[in-house]
Amino acid sequence: MNLCGRKKLMVEIIALMIVQAVMVIDIAWAAGIVTKQDKHTLSPALTINSNSIKNLFSSKPDTQKVTSLATVEHLQELTKTSITDYNTEEMRRFLQQSLPIEANVTNVQWKGVVLPPEAKQDSEDFRNAACVLNAGGILLGRTRRDDPNKMRVLLPRVAVPRKDSERRTSFIDLVIHEDWDKVTGKTPVFSGSDVPLVGDLNHIEREMLSPYDHDLISQLPETKKLGSLYIQLNEARVNNRKTQEHSPERLYWSNRIIQLEKEIEANTVIALEDARAVERDNGDPKDAKVHVYLTVVFEGHYYSAQTNHDTEKMITNINKRLGDITAEVDWQWSPLKKLINDGPCADQNIKNFVPFGNPAKGIWHAIYRPSSNESTVTRLAVSKEGLAGTWYDAGEFFSTPEGFWGGGSAFVAELPGGFEMMLIHSARGVENGQTGREKDYDLWMVIVDVKNPRRKFVTGPILKADQNRPFETDKRSWHPGAIYSCFAVLVNTRNSNDDQYEFDIDIYYSAADTAIVLAAVTVSMGINNGFLNNTAKVILNNKNLRKIGLNETSLQWKTVEQSI
């Protein structure tokens, strides 16, 4: 047999192995059998392009056609072993992470400043003024299917100095951003020159979500401890006053007071950070709620928590304030609820909790980042009880290289084909920086299969800090080089044919933890619908498959793919 014949045979053998793996997974799915590792997320049937199989055995793999997170080096490593020793389990995992799409960013336009600092950047007041670290947000009214005029609601994190502490406390404001496509003025930057100010802002509520709002924080585990701790502290102070000075009893009660004060400090919320929002209903717009996911910060630890608000009541309150900024309104945010309470990361510091926008077969997915592994691993969470949870850990989602950290940034939108788009970020500190505050951040786009988010496509970096843009790398900013997003809006979708799309996206991001700015990004995405059919043809051309009863109707690639 010549070399071409041997290669063809190897391709057919691998194709047969893939089909057998498909059958095993489909049978396991039908029987409801899952492994402990995949107990919450069952992978769909394996898919593989016939060209991808050939590329695995090519001396020069076509990297432009590999639509997965796997590197060329990883593919080459997979194919070093002989057919008999082939690592089918690793190949199965690789294929499960592949999506039949190609996507890339075709345009990035910096539009201007949305929310500038509250003090002039070159003034003495700047370091003591409130600073805007980032802004989450929501396109409010999404569930009003007959209302095209949705409001862009920003949820900026505003940090202010704390007395007798280097750390700042932070609140979440509520701001309406109007006329976001228009340059409405100018704002000064460090150099003294002016840059575009885009849109108009209406500050609806200052400190809407506050660490000092007892009703909001009342159900957190730490808050529940505080009542008992304060009672014990008062008793200790009374007993301390009753003892003689310099006596052993006085020393005991003095130390006890110090201990209790430290415990109270450790269990007191000092900041609410990085709000992200999703608005959804249960099929009835009247049941719509705005779910906000944020980080609750204490001295020494932090974690992700969720609160929600009725959409119609929120719109009513906003409209009252738009008519009269002094109008009395009744915000009805639910008590904050800690999100991850079991699994391997329950006792770790947790942040960057970002839910996907839609469920699959009644299961919601989200990603979050625990502090283990130096914050290099972002994990998947699942909920069968809606966006409020209870949420459970479901294993690793992605990791960053050593020396970097990363996490979820913002859910963007659901896309055609059963996909969802979100922003993620990676970052690292900068050694030998001039200020000691420099960071190196970038933003990436990830597209996932809503039925199995482990199947994903990741673009290259779409935004990095740029010295030609204001604030982002200036050494007088809070954290030069840091860009961070909690909110993006799908503005427009263009469909040139059934398989090719372009998406216009507005991304709100923090420039060096100093100002909120706006960028417009265009993403091109192609769905390879021939991907599965080509694979079926390769398999059906092998006469040996007929011996195990496979035929065109039993493969039904698209049906299987769409039904899981």
**If pLDDT is split at 50, 70 and 90, which confidence band does 286 have?**
confident
pLDDT for the residue 44: 33
Which region, left, alpha or beta, applies to residue 299 given φ > 0 means left and ψ of -120 to 50 means alpha?
beta
When pLDDT is cut at 50, 70 and 90, the band that residue 340 belongs to is: very high
| Most confident range, picked from 280-284, 371-375, 420-424 | 420-424
* Structure-derived torsion over alpha carbons of residues 502, 505, 511, 512, reported in degrees to the nearest 10: -70
**Where do we find the tokens 């427009």?**
492
Q: State the amino acid at position 274 in one-letter form.
A: D
Q: In degrees to the nearest 10, what's the CA dihedral of 58, 61, 62, 65?
A: 100
pLDDT band at 49 (very low <50, low <70, confident <90, very high): very low
Two structure tokens written together for 294 = 């944020």
Helix (H) or strand (E) holding 302: strand 302-310
Find the radius of gyration of the CA atoms of the chain: 27
Contacts for 92-97: CB closer than 8 Å, 24+ residues apart: 92/21, 92/25, 92/46, 94/68, 94/70, 95/18, 95/46, 95/47, 95/48, 96/43, 96/44, 96/46, 96/452, 96/454, 96/455, 97/68, 97/69, 97/70, 97/454, 97/455, 97/456
Is the pLDDT reported for residue 514 higher than 70? yes
Check residue 142 and give its pLDDT.
Answer: 58
Q: Is pLDDT above 90 for 22?
A: no
The whole-number pLDDT of residue 320 equals 92
At 399, which amino acid appears? S
Most confident range, picked from 23-27, 51-55, 418-422: 418-422
Query: 3-state SS of 439-486?
Result: EEEEEEEEEEECCEEEEEEEEEEEEECCCCCCCCCCCCCCCCCCEEEE
DSSP string, 127-180: GGS-EEEEEEEEEETTT-TT----EEEEEEEEEEEPTT-SSEEEEEEEEEEEEE
In this predicted model, what pLDDT tens digit does every residue of 465-512 receive, in sequence order? Answer: 888 888 888 887 878 888 899 999 999 999 877 788 999 999 999 988
Instruction: Output 283 or 445, whichever has higher pLDDT.
Output: 445
Average pLDDT, the chain: 75
Token reading at 143: 């569930």
pLDDT at 168 > cutoff 80: no
Name the DSSP class of 333: P
What is the identity of the amino acid at 463? L
pLDDT at residue 53 is higher than 50: no
399 phi/psi in degrees, rounded to 5: -135, 160
Query: How far is C-alpha 525 from the geometric centre of its chain's CA atoms?
Result: 20
SS3 of 7, please? Answer: helix
Contact 465, 475 (CB under 8 A): no
- Which segment of 8-17, 103-112, 426-435, 447-456 scores lowest on mean pLDDT? 8-17
Contact 220, 338 (CB under 8 A): yes
Q: What is the DSSP track for 229-297?
A: HHHHHHHHHHHHHHSPTTSHHHHHHHHHHHHHHHHHHHTS--EEEEEEEEEE-SS-GGG-EEEEEEEEE
Instruction: Compute the distance between CA of residue 175 and CA of residue 158 in angstroms, rounded to an integer.
Output: 12
> pTM for this one?
0.76
The pLDDT assigned to 126 comes to 56
The whole-angstrom separation of Cα 394 and Cα 106 is: 34
CA–CA distances in Å: residue 269 to residues 275, 295, 298, 447, 526: 16, 10, 5, 35, 46
CA–CA dist 523, 462 (Å, integer) = 10
Region of residue 199 (phi > 0: left; psi between -120 and 50: alpha; otherwise: beta): left
- Chain Cα centroid distance, residue 94: 23
Q: What is the band of 165 on the pLDDT scale with cuts at 50, 70, 90? A: low
Q: Mean pLDDT: which of 74-78, 301-305, 339-343, 556-560 is highest?
A: 301-305
Looking up tokens 């000064």, which residue turns up? 188
The residues facing 257 across adjacent strands are none
Burial of 440 (0-12, 13-18, 19+ CB in 10 A): middle
**514: alpha, beta or left, given left = phi > 0 and alpha = psi -120 to 50?**
alpha
* Spatial CA neighbour of 106 closest among 397, 503, 476: 503
pLDDT computed for residue 545 by the predictor: 35
Determine the average pLDDT of the residues in 32-59. 32
Higher pLDDT: 455 or 129? It is: 455
Sheet containing 364-370: give its strands across: 350-355, 364-370, 377-383, 392-399
Q: Could you tell me if 364 and 382 are in contact, meaning their C-beta atoms sit under 8 angstroms apart?
A: yes
C-alpha 7, offset from chain centre = 43
Predicted confidence (pLDDT) at residue 337 exceeds the cutoff of 90:
yes
DSSP 207-232: EEE-TT-HHHHTTSHHHHHHHHHHHH
Q: Within 13 Å, how many C-alpha atoms sit on residue 510's CB side?
A: 32
Whole-number pLDDT of residue 62: 27
DSSP 414-435: EETTTEEEEEEEEEEE-TT-SS
**Residue 104 pLDDT > 50, yes or no?**
yes
Greater model confidence, 143 or 20: 143
What the block records as the tokens of 490 is 């799908």
Digit-coded pLDDT (tens) for 184-211: 888 877 656 788 889 998 999 999 999 9
